[in-house]
């Protein structure tokens, strides 16, 4: 039996993920844009997430340090009530959908997550939280596509959904020229319960 070789480092972030019905609702609203803007680099729907803390490239051996504090943090919090709402673009290149609902609680959760990471002795760039789902990226030189699709999402308001799990996510970004892929390293339900390893 061959043993899988673990990479020396892993690109890591901590996030919430909308449930499938919420993602499907937004995907229906995006169908015309998928047709009219096929040249955008669309993220896979299963990879849509709300980043709470981006930790970047970490030594693989430090990742297990995050499990106990994040599990404890999730166990002590109730689910958040959130919704997907509107759209926008960063630098006219990155298309996103906004987040509505319990934003004060979402910001408090992100602050607690970041404090837990710092408590593990893991250094990371503490960027301001702008809750969103990244949907697509425009190719260099294409300065209008993301803004056009964002304008079409201006009136979109999805139904409320419970943010029920805290996810520790690994990514292959920066490893080769293929599409970015994400995988759960671990996930914990809010309000207690068992962890779900990937």
Give me the residue spans of the domains in the chain: 9-189
53/3: higher pLDDT: 53
Q: For residue 196, name the pLDDT band (cuts at 50, 70, 90).
A: very low
What's the average model confidence in pLDDT over 30-56? 94
Summarize pLDDT for 166-183 with one digit per residue, the tens. Answer: 999 998 765 544 566 788
Look up residue 85 and give its two tokens. 């709402």
Give the phi and the psi of residue 64 in degrees, each rounded to 5: -60, -25
What fold is seen in the domain 9-189? Cyclic Phosphodiesterase; Chain: A, (3.90.1140)
What's the average model confidence in pLDDT over 2-15? 76
Which stretches does DSSP call E strand in the chain?
A: 9-16, 41-42, 50-59, 80-90, 94-101, 132-137, 161-163, 165-171, 182-189
Q: Which of 107, 130, 132, 167 is catalytic?
A: 132
What's the average model confidence in pLDDT over 16-24? 96
CA 187 to chain centroid, in Å, comes to 13
pLDDT at residue number 3: 54
CA atoms of 78 and 166, how far apart (whole Å): 11
Q: Would residue 49 show up in a list of annotated catalytic residues for this protein?
A: yes
Above 70 in pLDDT, residue 7? Answer: no
Secondary structure of residue 87 in the 3-state scheme: strand
Give the phi and the psi of residue 13 in degrees, each rounded to 5: -145, 165
Between CA 117 and CA 129, with CA 123 as vertex, the angle to 5 degrees is 65
Closest CA to 55 of 108, 120, 109: 120
Summarize pLDDT for 128-158 with one digit per residue, the tens. Answer: 999 999 999 998 878 788 999 999 999 999 9
Above 80 in pLDDT, residue 83? Answer: yes
Q: Which of 37, 39, 49, 167 is catalytic?
A: 49
Give the phi and the psi of residue 126 in degrees, each rounded to 5: -85, 80
CA atoms of 36 and 42, how far apart (whole Å): 12
What's the average model confidence in pLDDT over 32-42? 93
Considering the chain, what is the average pLDDT of its residues? 89
Q: For residue 30, name the pLDDT band (cuts at 50, 70, 90).
A: very high
What's the average model confidence in pLDDT over 104-122? 96
- Rg (C-alpha) for the chain, rounded Å, is 17
Q: For residue 32, name the pLDDT band (cuts at 50, 70, 90).
A: very high
Q: Would residue 37 show up in a list of annotated catalytic residues for this protein?
A: no
Count other C-beta atoms under 10 Å from residue 183's C-beta. Answer: 12
């Amino acid at each position: 039996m061959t043993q899988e070789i673990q990479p020396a480092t892993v690109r890591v972030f901590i996030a919430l993920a909308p449930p499938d019905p919420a993602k499907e609702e937004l995907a229906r609203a995006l169908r015309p844009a998928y047709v009219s803007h096929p040249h955008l680099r669309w993220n896979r729907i299963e990879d849509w997430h709300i980043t709470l803390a981006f930790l970047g490239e970490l030594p693989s051996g430090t990742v297990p340090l995050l499990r106990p504090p994040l599990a404890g943090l999730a166990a002590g919090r109730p689910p958040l009530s959130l919704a997907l709402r509107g759209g926008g673009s960063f630098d006219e290149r990155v298309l996103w959908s906004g987040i509505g609902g319990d934003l004060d609680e979402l910001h408090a959760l992100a602050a607690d997550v970041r404090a837990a990471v710092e408590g593990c002795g893991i250094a990371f760039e503490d960027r301001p939280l702008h809750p969103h789902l990244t949907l697509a990226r425009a190719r260099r030189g294409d300065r209008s596509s993301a803004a056009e699709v964002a304008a079409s999402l201006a009136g979109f308001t999805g139904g409320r959904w419970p943010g029920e799990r805290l996810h520790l996510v690994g990514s292959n970004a920066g490893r080769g020229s293929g599409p970015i892929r994400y995988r759960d390293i671990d996930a914990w339900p809010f309000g207690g319960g068992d962890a779900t390893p990937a």
